[in-house]
Amino acid sequence: MFYFCSMNTWITITSADDIRTIIEKSAGKPQIIFKDSTTCGISAHAKSRLENGFAHIAGKADFYYLDLLALRPVSNLIAQELQVTHQSPQIIVVKNGQATYTSSHHAIDAADIARHL
């Protein structure tokens, strides 16, 4: 089940079924997953930078938010299904069912993400 959270921009991932839906939707439009460690200052800073840079990517992709501390098994499923190494914070761009770009920590940048859409 999805629901919008802060700024009506992020769609919150709440279950493993959501990951399958994201992968399916990526056939028509890029999907962006942000994995957040809610107790980490670096993660909070990365999320803030993304939100400040949404103008670079608005309308070009759907944006998903995962609280990986609350849903670590779902985070593990993302790593398995998309064949990416788990990191936190982490951004993953999904296109045509595959992770086509990933970044983590201080390297997360909205303008860089836009170049990979």
State the pairing for strand pair 90-95/10-12: unpaired
Task: Give domain 6-115's CATH number out of 3.40.50.1370, 3.30.450.20, 3.40.30.10, 3.40.50.300.
Answer: 3.40.30.10
CA atoms of 83 and 80, how far apart (whole Å): 5
What stretches of 26-94 show up as alpha helix (H) in DSSP?
41-52, 72-82
Confidence band, pLDDT 50/70/90 cuts, at residue 3: very low
16: helix, coil or strand? helix
The pTM of the full predicted model, rounded to 2 decimals, is 0.88
Tell me the per-residue pLDDT of 50-103, one tens digit each, with 9 for 90 and over.
888 877 787 889 999 999 999 999 999 999 999 999 999 999 999 999 999 999
Nearest C-alpha neighbor of 100 from the set 83, 86, 80, 77: 83
100: tokens are 């086509």
Q: What does the domain layout of the chain look like in residue ranges?
A: 6-115
CA atoms of 51 and 16, how far apart (whole Å): 25
- Average of per-residue pLDDT across 4-24: 82
